[in-house]
Structure 1
Amino acid sequence: MKTLGLIGGTGWVSTVDYYKLINELVNEKLGGVHAAKLILYSLNFGEIKSLLDINDWDSISRIYIDIAIKLKQAGADCIILAANTPHLIADKIKQAVQLPFIHIAEATAKAIKETGIKKVALLGTRFTMENSFYTDALAAKGISTLVPNEAERNYIHNSILNEMVKDVFTEASKATHIEIINRLISEGAEGVVYACTEIPILLKNTSIAVTTFDTTLIHAKAAVAFALD
């Protein structure tokens, strides 16, 4: 079994799910009391958020690269970012660390392609919805993307960074997210990508009229496939 190098803490709430899912999936494959071999470095999201607020991605890149190098030195066989948004700097991390990198958008695009769905709605932080690392990965698999309008993007972004990363999940936020999703479905979305690893927690056990894609689970499955290959 390969050793997974996991960078978490952005935020810690969904990192808990990553740890649990990866170990559960390994145990499903191997049985007994088997669990994953992984090294987890959990960031202080407060430090990252202060840099996000001023759009200082150079400093964020340096932090992630330094941590990825530490994980490599500690024996990690790959790098996994336990969040969607930091994949904005995935190429910089891959270039600096020279380890296999399990990319959440690429894994998600592959999972969507297997369903035959051609158009999806994309929900996440503004960085995820307004940059191209997700839409490019989806387009490479022949999948087009719908994103919320500006007011909706602002609402989703703020609810993630001001509530969800603090383990605050409200019925009001859930209702607004469902309203946004339903509007995007009315515009032709055949599926919905929860491209923030806290959104699957908010919308857990929620009935949506189309197929939904939990990027945390998809990413965890890709990590386990790598570990056990």
Structure 2
Amino acid sequence: MADVNPGPRRRGRPRKDSSSDARTAIADAASAEFAEKGYDKTSIRGIARRAQVDSALVHHYFESKAGLFAEVVKLPVRPDRIVRSALDTDDDRLGESLVRTVLSAWERSTVKSIGVTVLRSAVSDSAAGRLIRQFLLRELKGAVAGRLESSGVDPAEADVRATLVLTQMAGALIFRHVLELEPLASMPVDDLIARLAPAVQCHIDGVGDVE
């Protein structure tokens, strides 16, 4: 009896027995795309093309480019989700919400262990460092800037304020968890939040801007 040709494989959601292979293929394709093009220039469509699947399948498994990056880099948490969850508050509480959400997440041992490695890579001049910086700027700074724009802040000014917010919090994380500088390293997290939040709120409000 002659073999039956099933015809070309249809794109879209895979059968149950092929789902694991499809997910792996997408993750491998994403890793290659990020390495070759960097975070900013990598697209979901390009990843899907390399993995030979439909772009809808990429979204089905990983939701977004940020989700794929988190999978490839093996992040224990999604920093983009952490920051976005902190943005859902009133303008005058935004600084405290951001600082508390981010710093509290870093107190978890599972986050800190790999977070230190990520921060060290981010400040290095390696290919991995450049990739991580692109991710942080696009997903974290972009989220804060977008939130400020939604409150009526000019886009250029929102970008400046978001950059200052990010540098303020990144500096605190680096000195506390990477360099372990005292007294910051052993300061109770609630005390650090209380001291840092007003400074971040000043950047959010644009205090000191030249009119």
Q: TM-score scaled to structure 2, two decimals?
A: 0.28
Q: Which has the higher contact order (CA 8 A, sep 6+)?
A: 1
Give the number of the structure whose residues are more often helix, by fraction: 2
